[in-house]
Structure 1
Amino acid sequence: MFEKMAGVGSAMGSLLFLYTMLRQFLPPHLQAYFTAYMSKLLSWIDPYIYVSIPEYAGERMKRSEAYAAVEAYLSASCSQRARKLKAEIGKDSDRLLVSMGDHEEVTDDFQGTKLWWTSTSRPTQSTSPPWRPAASDEKRYYRLAFHKRQRELVMSSYLSHVLKEGREVTIKNRQRKLFTNIASNKYDILSRASAWSHVVFEHPSTFATLAMDPDKKKEIIDDLLAFRNRKEYYAKIGKAWKRGYLLYGPPGTGKSTMVAAMANLLDYDIYDLELTAVKDNTALRKLFIETTSKSIIVVEDVDCSLDLTGKRKDGKKTSGDKEDDGKEKKSDPEESSKVTLSGLLNFIDGLWSACGGERLIVFTTNHIEKLDPALIRRGRMDKHIEMSYCGFEAFKVLAKNYLDIDSHPLFDTIRQLLEEVNITPADVAENLTPKSLNDGEETCLGSLIQALKRAKEEGNGESSSSEETVIDASQN
């Protein structure tokens, strides 16, 4: 084998030397023909195929997604074997991405086949106008080499494998974001400018710290994880890969905290959609199209965002409805949002909802009875989650979070009071928060007990009222 390889190398070297010498004496119009014939001759001797993946394609104004995927794939699977490495902060990432250095070669094994990756760069002259900075001073690219016998394997399976694995590494390393939509009158619907602005998402909430009944919490976690792993199932049944969640309950029961816990569990971005800032249904579709996969689209307090609370029942026309002659009513462009119930329903599960995949749509409300039944039916809001008042199991989670205790003699008193008084987790957390450095667990638990007793007395004094007793933290 070594003798054959040595012979092939010697022949290739001789041909390259001959090509270089002869090319100097050929007229320019013959050099192209000579180069083409030499390439064909070399292809008979060299049994390897080469695939180049440049960093920038076309006018080099945008980094190639394929290059980024290969870079992420090699950093995870092959860079451990490279001698020269480089480290840089990847796009939308908060950690260093270690990849192959320039002019470094590593091998990769795929289904028993050996392949070679090389990282190459060379200086380049910028063709950009003087007022536009060059995309890069060097032209970088990865080159894949493999035996021509493996062409079918590489083209049909390996390149797809690299792209998929590279994208997963990129998503894992990315810096998650919290998006909010810009008011429609501040951007042109037909422009290329994004309708979303964002900040880094760093909310610490998790299901472990969420004050909720453990069985109910486990049910929600199982449902979320099942959704994330059912891409093929959704394709099989012919449904868009999305799921709707309706979180309802009194203020202070942790609806926003639940959304943050969902995002941290699934490693998703959050799009906080403010419906009152959306001009009309067209703008709403544009916003949806610009959302990415692996994201949660949230509409908080949907009952307060727009007048979507069952207007169809009383026959009144809402803004954006059509007159009897079929013409849409004219309105002042400075008026409030023209998003209609129909537009919101199409946003949730209409044809446009199938653009992209792996999305959660979450509505929160304090008054579920005010919402139109069409908006929250199964198939749109697939899972209804009641965020209720604080029970004893939820209290124990808060006690662990705020006081780092699992048990205490006062727990029995608190259990009894929680069965008699309705109190939100936010109010419990406020009472458990130490107000000074000298406040210990005894003081904080005593503060909570006093608040519960006070609320119980006030509730007994209003026994003729059918309203539920809710504690106001400001009373403490």
Structure 2
Amino acid sequence: MNPTKITPETWRTFGSAVLTFVFFWDLIRRYCPPELRLYFERSGRRISGFFNPTIQISIHEYIGSHMKSHEAYGMVEAYLSISSSKDAKKLKAEMAKENEAELVLSMDENEKTTDEFNGAQVVWISGKVPSPPQTTSFPYYREPEKRYYKLKFHRRYKKLITESYLEHVMKTGKDRIQARSRQRRLYTNGHSKSYWSHIAFEHPATFETLAMEQEKKEEIIEDLLSFTKSRDFYKRIGKAWKRGYLLYGPPGTGKSTMIAAMANFLDYDVYDFELTSVKNNTELRKLLAETTSRSIIVIEDIDCSLDLTGERKKKMEKSGETDTEITKKPSSRRDREAESGSQVTLSGLLNFIDGLWSSCARERLIVFTTNHVEKLDPALTRRGRMDKHIEFSYCKFEGFKVLAKNYLNLEEHPVFGSIQELMEKVKITPADVAEILMPKSAKEGPEECLQSLIHALEVQAKETNNVAAAAARENHEELVIELNRMDSQGSRN
């Protein structure tokens, strides 16, 4: 039939055929047995597939009911950041990690782009599944939107796409990620969230700028490098590829800065775990399952996060009360918040560290920090859970030299000798030294900053001597009283 000579009679015949088909199809749906109806539906799909030769592959951002991040999604996203700028009309821009003046472009949601591989034309489509509505049971929880990519191609290219093209996409995307084209991410579950949110991780700390003895820094660097190269070793001994670090010491000694330096050195993302925002062990496992490989999971001030230190057991032994009775009588604001909020237990946290759930991702560091290591339960800090313990003490002269280089661009100065002598007599944190060395105005130069530090050290040394002298006097007075008591008792005898 010549399409240029379609008559009204032809249209009437076509419309009648369509109406007849719809009529019989409705009869089949209403009155046919389920088995026969299923047969017709399958036949309909086969007929539809015959006329529509397109094959579709979906790659979602999360997999599983626990919303574990899908590594393939990140690789596809990185791959499309290279090719999508060719013909996509809607792009999103992110800052390049190594060069802040450079933008990395990638395909925005609900956009599509084409690609070619060995003569095969493919189409990539980005989209997202809207978040389900909030429920009355959890009014403050809203599940994040789930993004995905769809790959469409002609069925004649199925073997080429599934066997070669997808492998090419994964390899190119992985290389793109390893080339550090994107910012690392800092994740948090704070503000009563049961899912992760993130921002760009831009902390500038490095091991070179860390105020710590060089020998100690080299020891930590060697340990980190050994861990990243030990995949086969961990597999051979049957352990999850993870390592635990316990950072302990007084406040202001550089524990958080060390974590940032480790992340920058290894090029890992950071998950800042806020335990008090986690309702129970089930939610803890859910959050853990969402973390990715090549990451650092951090719980800062673990002794202050929850009642996980064994103090509850000691209270029960002293008072004879039961665990339920103590729970009913919170002794502080923090205890009341813990009672009304998180119900994470020590056993749940231990399973998070080295139980079955600890193997849900590979190549991860688990880092705990504390100001009072003596308060932690031994089950939490034993080797195998916290494999390496790193003590952060008060600032030594070698650490001061690093800070002088960072803040004043000085490697040597005539007053360094005096500062070294004073630092051997007093305890001062790297944070305090850094604050004193930081110029307060444009007129304040290195000389004034160093003199301010010397003055602060001298004042603290004097206070330390006064405290020591007062303690000595008190001890002497107690000794004299005790001797007099013994003489008096001897005279009566």
TM-score grouping bracket, smaller chain normalisation: 0.5 to 0.7
Aligned to 2:34: none
Q: Give the aligned residue type for 1:198.
A: H
1:169 match: 176
User: How far, CA to CA, are the matches of 1:249 and 1:74 in structure 2?
Assistant: 46
Could you tell me how far 1:330 is from its partner in structure 2? 9.5
**CA distance change for structure 1 residues 340 and 115 in 2, over 3 Å: closer, same or farther?**
same
Q: What do residues 378-427 of structure 1 show as CA deviations (whole Å, max 9, x unaligned)? A: 11101111111111221111111111121111112212222222211011
- The structure that is helix-richer by fraction is 2
- Distance in 1, matches of 2:450 and 2:186, equals 35
**Does 1:96 pair with 2:99?**
no
Q: Distance in 2 between matches of 1:342 and 1:56?
A: 33
1:331-350 to structure 2, matched below 5 A, reads: 335-336=339-340, 337-350=342-355
1:3-35 CA distances to partner (integer Å, 9 max, x unpaired)? xxxxxxxxxxxxxxxxxxxxxxxx999xx9999
In structure 2, what is the equivalent of residue 180 of structure 1?
Answer: 188
Alpha-carbon distance in structure 2 between the residues aligned to 1:304 and 1:103: 50
Residues 196-228 of structure 1 show CA distances to partners (whole Å, capped at 9, x for unaligned) of 333332222222211111121122122223323
Once the 2 structures are TM-superposed, how far is the Cα of residue 84 of structure 1 from its aligned partner? 7.0
Q: For 1:40-93, what per-residue CA distance to the aligned partner results, in whole angstroms no more than 9, with x for missing partners? A: 9xxxxxxxxx98657899xxxx9x9867634633766x89xx987989336897
Asked if the contact 1:248/1:367 (under 8 Å) is kept, the reply is yes
Change over 3 Å in CA distance of 1:410–1:246 after alignment to 2: same
Change (3 A) 1:117 1:74: farther
Letter in structure 2 aligned against 1:277: S
Aligned amino acid, residue 213 of structure 2: D
Alignment of 1:450-461 (within 5 A): 450-461=455-466
Q: Report the more deviating stretch, 442-451 or 260-269.
A: 260-269
1:39–1:254 Cα change, 3 Å: closer
Residues 458 and 235 of structure 1: CA distance in aligned 2, closer, same or farther (over 3 Å):
same
Q: Quick check: 2:189–2:195 contact (8 Å CA) kept in 1?
A: yes
State the Cα distance separating 1:284 from its structure 2 match.
2.0
CA 1:255–1:404 in structure 2 vs 1: closer, same or farther (change >3 Å)? Answer: same
TM-score normalised by structure 1 residue count: 0.66
Aligned twin of 2:78: 72
Larger Rg: 2
Q: Distance in 1 between matches of 2:245 and 2:72?
A: 35
Within the candidate set 337, 362, 366, 2:371 is matched to 366
1:403 and 1:182 map into 2 onto residues whose CA distance is 37
RMSD value, Cα: 4.8
Q: Quick check: 1:444 aligned with 2:444?
A: no
Confirm or deny that 1:224 pairs with 2:229: no
Identify the range of structure 1 (434-443 vs 288-297) with the bigger mean alpha-carbon deviation.
Answer: 288-297
Written as runs of structure 1 = structure 2, the 5 A alignment for 1:18-417 is 69-70=75-76, 72-73=78-79, 88-89=91-92, 95-97=103-105, 141=151, 159-160=166-167, 162-170=169-177, 172-182=180-190, 194-311=194-311, 314=314, 316=316, 335-336=339-340, 337-417=342-422
Find the aligned partners of 2:424 and 2:244 in 1 and give their Cα distance: 32
Change (3 A) 1:228 1:56: closer
Alpha-carbon distance change, 397 to 169 in structure 1, aligned in 2, over 3 angstroms? same
TM-score (structure 2 length as normaliser): 0.64
**Letter of the structure 1 residue corresponding to residue 423 of structure 2:** L
Identity score, percent: 54
Q: What corresponds to 2:433 in structure 1?
A: 428
**Distance change in 2, residues 1:213/1:119 (3 Å):** same
CA deviation map 1:251-287 (0-9, x unaligned): 1101111112222222222222222232222232222
Aligned equivalents of 2:278, 2:52: Cα separation in 1: 59
TM superposition shift of 1:105: 6.1
Specify whether residues 106 and 286 from structure 1 end up closer, same or farther in structure 2 by C-alpha distance, changes over 3 A only.
Answer: closer
User: Matched residues in 2 for 1:67 and 1:179: separation?
Assistant: 18
Q: Is the 8 A contact 2:353 2:385 kept in 1?
A: yes
Deviation of 1:176 (Å): 2.9
Q: Taking structure 1 as reference, are residues 415 and 351 closer, same or farther at Cα in structure 2, changes over 3 Å only?
A: same
Change (3 A) 1:450 1:339: same
Q: Which amino acid aligns with 1:403?
A: L
Residue identity opposite 2:240 in structure 1: A
AA at the equivalent of 2:252: G
Contact 1:180 1:196 survives alignment (8 Å): yes
Q: Distance in 2 between matches of 1:301 and 1:391?
A: 23
Distance in 2, Cα, partners of 1:268 & 1:397: 25
Task: Provide structure 1 residue ranges, at least 5 long, that are not aligned to the other structure.
Answer: 1-26, 41-49, 108-113, 122-127, 129-134, 188-193, 468-476
1:317 deviates by: 8.3
In the alignment, the residues of structure 2 paired with residue 258 and residue 147 of structure 1 have an alpha-carbon distance, to the nearest angstrom, of 51
8 Å Cα contact 1:67/1:141 also seen in 2 = no
Give the drift of 1:37: 10
AA at the equivalent of 1:177: R
Could you tell me how far apart the structure 1 residues matched to 2:375 and 2:244 are? 18
Separation of aligned partners in 2, 1:380 and 1:103: 47
Deviations 1:89-113 (A, max 9, x none): 36897732379x9887666xxxxxx
CA distance in 1, matches of 2:402, 2:124: 54
Evaluate the alpha carbon distance shift between residue 53 and residue 274 of structure 1 in structure 2; reply closer, same or farther with a 3 A threshold: closer
**Residue 316 of structure 1: SS of its match in structure 2?**
helix
CA–CA distance in structure 2, aligned partners of residues 354 and 275 of structure 1 = 20
1:288 corresponds to which letter in structure 2?
L
1:47: which partner in 2? none
Q: Which runs of 5+ in 2 are unaligned?
A: 1-16, 22-44, 62-66, 98-102, 131-144, 330-335, 473-493
Tell whether the 8 Å contact from 2:122 to 2:152 is kept in structure 1 after alignment. Answer: yes
CA shift in 2, pair 1:315/1:417, >3 Å: closer
Q: 1:174 to 1:371 in 2, by over 3 A?
A: same
Whichever residue aligns with residue 303 of structure 1, its letter is D
Other structure's SS at 1:247 match: strand
Distance 2:405 2:391 in 1: 23
Within 2, Cα distance between the matches of 1:34 and 1:458? 91
Closer, same or farther: CA 146–159 of 1 in aligned 2, 3 Å: farther
**Which amino acid is the alignment partner of residue 439 of structure 2?**
P
Distance 1:120 1:347 in 2: 38
